[in-house]
Amino acid sequence: MRIPVLVLSGFLGSGKTTLLLRLLEEIASRGLKPGILMNELGKQDVDGRILGEHSPASLEKLLDGCICCSKKSEMAGSLSLLLKTKPDVIIIELTGVANPEEIADALTEPGLIGQLRLKRIITLLDAEHALDYNSIFATDKQLVRTLRRQLEVADFVIVNKTDLVKPAQLQKIEKAIRKQNEHASISYTTYSSLHLAPLLEGVTKREEIKEQAVQRLQMVKSISLKQKNAEGSVSSAPKHDHAESDRSFSRIQTLSLSWTTSARLTREQVERFLHRWKKELLRAKGYISFPNQGQMYLMQHAGKRTNWEPTAYTGEPYLVAIGIEFDQERFKLEWEQLT
Ligand SMILES: Nc1nc2c(ncn2[C@@H]2O[C@H](COP(=O)(O)OP(=O)(O)OP(=O)(O)O)[C@@H](O)[C@H]2O)c(=O)[nH]1
C-alpha cells in the first residue's frame, strides 16, 4: 500500500498555504492523519509557523532552497521521516518557483518508490497577477517555463484571489489555462475556499485501505475457488491486488519496471528506447547494470539528455518512467523486449 501524495504548486502568494490550512481542517474532520512537507526559499520558516499555530500535523520543513534543485537530495530524507509517523496522506507545499514534475521524480528514489504514490498536483493561480507573469519575468526564461509547467502538469487548477479582479479577467485566465492544459478541472476561489472532496478523493485511513485489500483478496480467492470447483481448473487471479486508493489520479504517471540481470542490454539501446518515447516521457531514471560490467549505473534522462553515473546502489536494477498520460502497457512491453 502506498501513501497518497498531494502536491500544492503555484507562484508566490497564490494561496497555497491558505489552501493547505483548509485541507488540513477537512482531513482532520475525516479522522485522517496528514504529514506535511513544506519548502521555503528563505531561511525564515514563515508558513511553517502559521501551520504550527493551526494544526498538530507531522511537519517536515526544507528551508532556504528549492526542493526541485538545491534541496532535492534532502527531500527523500524528509519524506522518510514523515513516513515514520504513519500518515494517511502526505501534502507537499512547494516554493512558488518549483517545478512539480521534479517531485514525481523525487518520489522514485530507491527508499521511497514502493511507499508513496503521487496522487494529484494542484496548482494555484493568483487571479490578479497570473496574466502578467510572462511580461514581468520576460528576462527569466527558466522561471516562465517553470510557471508554464506548473499549469501543464496540474490535475486541478485553482484560480484564487478572484475578489481582486473583474469577471472579464477570469475569462482571459481560463483561456490561458486551457492553452496549456485541456484536461485539468478549474475552480475559481477567494481565500482558496472550495469543495475539497474532489481533491481528497481516494484518500482513506491506512487501516481501511488494508481492510479493503484483504476483502478484495478474499473475494478474488473465493471467486477462483468457485471457478476451480465448477471447471476443475484454477483461474488466474491477479498477482497484485491494489486497493482503489492506491491508484494515481494524476496526469503524471509513474511506471516502475524491474528485471533481474539482462544478458544483452546496452547503454545505446536504453538511450534509443527513451528517445523514441520523447513525446510522452517527462523523465526517466534507473539503476541499470550491463552484461560483463560489474558496475551499476544511475541513469537520469530528461529532455534530450541521458546521463550515466557509476553508483554504489546494490539492489535489483529498475527503471522508472515518468510520463504524462502515456501508454504504460506499450512502454512496458517494448522495454521487456529489450531486457
Ligand atoms: N484578497 C485575497 N487575499 C488572499 C486570497 N487568498 C489568499 N490571500 C492572502 O494572500 C497572501 C498569500 O497567501 P498564501 O496562502 O500565504 O500564499 P502562498 O502561495 O502560500 O504564498 P508563498 O508562501 O509566498 O508561496 C496571504 O496574506 C493571504 O491571506 C484571496 O482569495 N483574496
CA-190 nearest atom, ligand 1: 31
CB-ligand 1 contact for 256 (6 Å cutoff): no
CA-10 nearest atom, ligand 1: 19
Distance, CA of 31 to CA of 205 (rounded, Å) = 8
The backbone torsions φ and ψ at residue 147, rounded to the nearest 5 degrees and listed phi first, read -65, -35
> Ligand 1 centroid vs 162 CA: distance in angstroms?
12
ipTM of the complex: 0.98
The backbone torsions φ and ψ at residue 296, rounded to the nearest 5 degrees and listed phi first, read -95, 140
The backbone torsions φ and ψ at residue 12, rounded to the nearest 5 degrees and listed phi first, read -50, 130
Strand order in the sheet with 58-62: 58-62, 34-39, 89-93, 3-10, 116-126, 156-160, 185-188
Distance, CA of 56 to CA of 74 (rounded, Å) = 23
Mean pLDDT by runs of 10 across the 339 residues of the chain is 91 89 92 87 56 67 64 80 92 85 81 88 93 74 84 95 95 95 96 96 76 59 53 35 48 80 83 90 85 83 85 85 85 89
In the prediction, which pLDDT does 235 show?
A: 32
In the prediction, which pLDDT does 70 show?
A: 59
Determine if residue 297 is left, alpha or beta; phi over 0 gives left, psi from -120 to 50 gives alpha, anything else beta: beta
In the prediction, which pLDDT does 212 show?
A: 60
Counting beta carbons within 10 angstroms of the beta carbon of residue 263, is it exposed (0 to 12), middle (13 to 18) or buried (19 or more)? exposed
In the prediction, which pLDDT does 6 show?
A: 95
CB-ligand 1 contact for 12 (6 Å cutoff): yes
What residue ranges define each of the domains in the chain, with the CATH number in brackets?
3-200 (3.40.50.300), 251-338 (3.30.1220.10)
All residues at 6 or more sequence positions from 199 whose CB lies less than 8 Å from its CB, including other chains:
6, 23, 120, 122, 156
C-alpha cell belonging to residue 127: 487571479
